[in-house]
Amino acid sequence: MSSATKTLALLSHFSADRPEIGLSQLCRIAGRDKATTYRHLQALETAGFVEQNPTTKHYRLGPAVLQLAQVREATVPRKLGAQLPLSQLADVTGETAHVSVVSGTTLYALASCESPRHGTRAIIDITTFPLHATASGLCALAFGPDAMLEAALSQMDRFTPHTATTAEALSDLITDARATGFGCSDRSFEAEIHSLSAPLYDQTGLFAGAVSVASVATRVSPEQERLIKTELIKASRDITRNWGGQLPANVTSAWASGSSRHYETDSTP
């Protein structure tokens, strides 16, 4: 990993739940030494990507990030194209729906929508998705660029007893995702959460991200799983269309075959 990559990677540790981070805390989170982390923060501060709170001396995202985010959304309006399908997905399934987008070999959270139907529900509070342990990540590995597999194999942390931590176990999950058209994470990232994902495509014709439903695992009956998969297919079609893309034949064929044959598989892109 280059110095520039390591520097920019520090930005991924900031979130709505963790808007400010002290130097020592960031060292622990990133797993880096203090001198290197400070040097990288100085570079980010000079470029306007981070700034220091004058009171706490903690770091927070700087104005340059906001400017880039506005340009990104204005020129590639992914979030807008996902909002209505996400809302409908959460409403019909009664669970938390969310969309992630790929950049390089990293899968970033884009938008989420929680259903008010249940008091206990999944909350999406991460900015990047572990490729080997989440349904979104498995979608990326099954339908995204080959380089993502190398990235996944280099970071196979164990989050729960159900997390795949070997290349063989991960290969089985990817094979299943390609066969069914859905990524599935059964308590492998969070102990109480079951997630299903379907791939998304944009105007380039390439994998662009995933749309997912995260549920409390005890609520996922066979009937509920069938409903979620049916609605994921609808959402995948709608978001892909809104992003100017078209679903490839291997995905629609996977939905139309095997265990997915009972789901809605209208061939219209």
The CATH code of the domain that includes 247 is 3.30.450.40
DSSP class of 18: -
Note the pLDDT of residue 1.
59
Note the pLDDT of residue 77.
77
CA distance 250 to 247: 8
Nearest CA among 49, 215, 189 for reference residue 121: 215
> Do residue 133 and residue 34 come from a single domain?
no
Where is the domain boundary, 69, 92, 114?
69
> Do residue 103 and residue 47 come from a single domain?
no
> Do residue 59 and residue 83 come from a single domain?
no
Where is the domain boundary, 25, 53, 69?
69
Note the pLDDT of residue 76.
62
pLDDT tens string, the chain, 269 residues long: the values are 578 888 988 998 887 778 999 999 999 999 999 999 999 999 999 999 999 999 999 999 999 987 887 776 676 678 888 999 999 999 999 999 999 999 889 999 999 999 988 888 788 888 899 999 999 999 999 999 999 999 999 999 999 999 999 999 999 999 999 999 999 999 999 999 999 999 999 988 899 999 999 999 999 999 999 999 999 999 999 999 999 899 999 999 999 985 444 444 444 44
Where is the domain boundary, 42, 69, 96?
69
Beta-strand relationship, 106-113 and 183-186: unpaired
CA distances from 64 to 56, 106, 144, 215, 263 (A): 21, 21, 29, 35, 45
Query: Is 242 domain-assigned?
Result: yes
Query: Is 265 domain-assigned?
Result: no
Query: Is 16 domain-assigned?
Result: yes
Query: Is 125 domain-assigned?
Result: yes
> Do residue 155 and residue 238 come from a single domain?
yes
Angle at 244 between CA 69 and CA 5, to 5 degrees: 40
Q: Which residue in this structure is represented by tokens 């991200």? A: 209
Query: Is 63 domain-assigned?
Result: yes
> Do residue 120 and residue 153 come from a single domain?
yes
Q: Which pTM was predicted?
A: 0.74
Q: Residue 83 sits in which domain range? A: 76-260
> Do residue 95 and residue 114 come from a single domain?
yes
> Do residue 65 and residue 90 come from a single domain?
no
> Do residue 50 and residue 154 come from a single domain?
no
Note the pLDDT of residue 261.
44
DSSP class of 131: T
CA distance 253 to 207: 16
Nearest CA among 77, 95, 83 for reference residue 231: 95
User: CB neighbours of 208 closer than 8 A, spacing ≥ 6?
Assistant: 78, 101, 102, 200, 201, 202, 240, 243, 245
> Do residue 15 and residue 134 come from a single domain?
no
Q: What is the token pair recorded at 251? A: 């995905």
Nearest CA among 136, 94, 133 for reference residue 111: 136
CA distances from 162 to 116, 155, 182, 200 (A): 28, 16, 18, 26
> Do residue 101 and residue 193 come from a single domain?
yes
Note the pLDDT of residue 14.
86
Q: What is the token pair recorded at 147? A: 């380089």
> Do residue 160 and residue 175 come from a single domain?
yes
Specify the CATH number for the domain of residue 30. 1.10.10.10
Query: Is 38 domain-assigned?
Result: yes
Counting the structural domains of the chain, the total is 2
Query: Is 266 domain-assigned?
Result: no
> Do residue 82 and residue 189 come from a single domain?
yes
Query: Is 268 domain-assigned?
Result: no
